[in-house]
Amino acid sequence: MEPAFKPKITPIDRIQENLVARVERRALNWLCARMPRRVSPDMLTAFGMFGALLVFTGYLGSNLDPDWLWLSIGGYVVHWLGDSLDGSLARFRKIERPRYGYFLDHSCDGFATTLLVVGIGLSPFVLLEVSLVALAGYLLMSIHAFLSVRVLGELRLSYLNAGPTEMRLILVALTLAMYIAGREAPVLWQLNPFDIFVGGVGILLVTLFVTQTIQVARRLAVEEPPLN
């Protein structure tokens, strides 16, 4: 029997320039070196998704009691561990599966982020409509990242010196502010300070998508001039 056809895998240039990248990399390498052999990258991926579910549940429960927000904060830690360690462990053990890992990791990232952002919108602190603006911004930036892999061969994991870890830290700080401040009164139209912050992040992401799209299009136009 002939072996199944396997598409040629082009190496992807991972670009990560976020503020805590070096410290985070040292921590992840330390954890990978001490990870029990029975723990697999797939198990860590599932662990990260479990963390996202904890975050979502905590935000939903905060409609009953603000103390539920502590579950969300703990969920962010679980999500970071699973999401950051799955690929790191595969590379550390040299057991990468490029197509499988790329597909599964980014599929889970999209679903997990949806849970996180929609969860914020279902809490009593932020309007769902505002959270959906932030989700749209994230999804647009994800589309840009995946297109860049195809046309440039590079996967940018950070923008404006911020990546997934910085975003989690910001969301943890936001959640702590929700717990301390409680429900805020509207200060602009029907928007409270939490709405303005989350909506502002969404607008920033949409703006970043537009500017990055223009930059990449200009670069490609130079590299691929029109045929005469």
Residue 151 has pLDDT above 80, yes or no: yes
Within-domain flag for 139:
yes
Owning domain of residue 85: 13-223
Average pLDDT over residues 137-162: 83
pTM of the model: 0.87
Residue 1 has pLDDT above 90, yes or no: no
Return the sign of the alpha-carbon dihedral for residues 159, 99, 107, 113.
negative
14: pLDDT confidence band, cut at 50, 70 and 90? low
Average pLDDT over residues 150-168: 79
Residue 5 has pLDDT above 50, yes or no: no
Q: Answer for the pair 57, 70: CB distance below 8 angstroms, yes or no.
A: no
Residue 191 has pLDDT above 50, yes or no: yes
Residue 3 has pLDDT above 60, yes or no: no
Dump pLDDT digits (tens) for 90-132. Answer: 999 999 998 898 899 989 999 999 999 999 999 999 999 999 9
Within-domain flag for 8:
no
pLDDT of residue 111: 95
Average pLDDT over residues 78-92: 92
Within-domain flag for 4:
no
Within-domain flag for 5:
no
Residue 149 has pLDDT above 50, yes or no: yes
Within-domain flag for 6:
no
Within-domain flag for 207:
yes
Within-domain flag for 7:
no
Report the CATH number that the domain containing residue 109 is assigned in CATH: 1.20.120.1760
Total domains in the chain come to: 1
Tell me the range of 65-74, 146-155, 217-226 where mean pLDDT is highest. Answer: 65-74
- Rg from Cα positions in the chain: 20
Within-domain flag for 2:
no
